Amino acid sequence: MVSIKLDLHAIRRSLEDEHARLMERIASETARLNQPIEATTEWVDRARISTTRELQSALLVQSQHHLEQVKAALRRLDEGTYGVCAVCSGPIDPERLRALPYATTCVKGQRQQEQAGGAS
């Protein structure tokens, strides 16, 4: 494996930008979900509204989960443990961190987790 130094300042900026973007998305999705449902008697309209609300709710949950991953990555940066695999305590490949800056495991650790039935 080629050793590539991580630019932790650039990673922090990227994570902070992602944090801000997710906060805006969550606020927007929450506002949409809190809008009153229009009264209608047409079953097609009720089905459309229900489907739209379910999709919005799923997107909100996904955004909240992603936000928690970003916050955890920022905490690891603050603690000095960023880039350390949570499974094997080895280094996480910088290319993996560039692709997935909130990764908590190296590729080998990820495989071990998946085989054990966990996820990250």
| 105 close to 96: Cβ distance less than 8 angstroms | no
Measured between alpha carbons, how far is 27 from 5 in angstroms, rounded to an integer?
Answer: 36
Measured between alpha carbons, how far is 37 from 4 in angstroms, rounded to an integer?
Answer: 52
Q: What is the pLDDT of residues 56-67, one digit of tens each?
A: 999 999 999 999
Confidence of residue 49 (pLDDT cuts 50, 70, 90): confident
Can you give the pLDDT at residue 36?
82
Task: Parse the chain into domains and list their residue ranges.
Answer: 8-116
Q: What's the token pair of residue 5?
A: 């130094």
CA-CA-CA-CA torsion sign (108, 1, 66, 49): negative
pTM summary value: 0.80
Helix (H, G, I), strand (E, B) or coil at 92: coil
Can you give the pLDDT at residue 118?
55
What is the separation, in whole angstroms, between the first and last Cα of the chain? Answer: 23
User: Looking at domain 8-116, which CATH architecture does it have?
Assistant: Up-down Bundle (1.20)
| 105 close to 86: Cβ distance less than 8 angstroms | yes
What is the residue-averaged pLDDT of the chain? Answer: 89
